[in-house]
Chain A
Amino acid sequence: TQLLEQSPQFLSIQEGENLTVYCNSSSVFSSLQWYRQEPGEGPVLLVTVVTGGEVKKLKRLTFQFGDARKDSSLHITAAQPGDTGLYLCAGPTYNAGNNRKLIWGLGTSLAVNP
């Protein structure tokens, strides 16, 4: 069974600090996605990484896909209160009927204090 483990589970930091959160698996994924979920809302896609070793930047957020495509990290530079939310990683897998679905990590709950 493919699993995605995220760490840390909770993170509370001050505005302006840097942080890194991780998404790890013992399985190889063809791609991984990062979503952010704010309270009372559904997850929203931030990025998709596809190639091993790939680095993608979205303003102050830097995403990396591991060389072996088993893990990914999200680094936030100079965190702001607006970055507060639940960060979820997700990867594709197939069910018995060969239909593609996403499996999800438990998420990292980030609180950035002013």
Chain B
Amino acid sequence: DTAVSQTPKYLVTQMGNDKSIKCEQNLGHDTMYWYKQDSKKFLKIMFSYNNKELIINETVPNRFSPKSPDKAHLNLHINSLELGDSAVYFCASSQDPYSSYNEQFFGPGTRLTVL
């Protein structure tokens, strides 16, 4: 029973296309995140939602639009894909981001390749 799931696992697409990645968590957490991990393995937060409300938006281009239809789901839509968008995108969730012991649970990642 997967805690945080993402689809698709792999996404290969042409420059200029629009694509979406979906994420679901069954942990009952209030907070969800999108991260981008580049080829050097650097993990950088993009967005965070708490109870469907956007609370963190880290200077990500407007081409990226997250949507949280409910607490358990966080989707990421990307318009006009560029070569530099190629990376692994991780969804994560946590219960209380303000606790020192807050644990983030990650999905398996979506490897996006833009050709």
Interface positions of A (Cβ within 8 A of B): 30-31, 33, 37, 40-45, 48, 50, 86, 88, 92, 95, 97, 99-102, 104, 106-107, 109
Partner of B90, one of A30, A42, A100, A109: A42
Asked if residues A107 and B41 are in contact (CB atoms below 8 Å), the reply is yes
| Most chain A beta-carbon contacts within 10 A, residue among B42, B45, B56, B104 | B104
Asked if residues B55 and A99 are in contact (CB atoms below 8 Å), the reply is yes
Q: Which partner residue on chain A sits nearest B44 by CB separation?
A: A104
Question: Contacts of B103 on A, CB cut-off 8 Å?
Answer: 33, 45, 48
| Most chain B beta-carbon contacts within 10 A, residue among A95, A97, A100 | A100
Asked if residues B56 and A86 are in contact (CB atoms below 8 Å), the reply is no
A107 to B104, CA, bound (A): 17
B9 to chain A, nearest CB (A): 9
A78 to B109, CA, bound (A): 31
Question: Contacts of A99 on B, CB cut-off 8 Å?
Answer: 48, 55-56, 97
A106 to B4, CA, bound (A): 23
Partner of B100, one of A40, A44, A48, A95: A48
| Given A41-B109, A42-B4, A101-B56: A86 and B100 interface contact (C-beta under 8 Å) | no
Asked if residues A43 and B42 are in contact (CB atoms below 8 Å), the reply is no
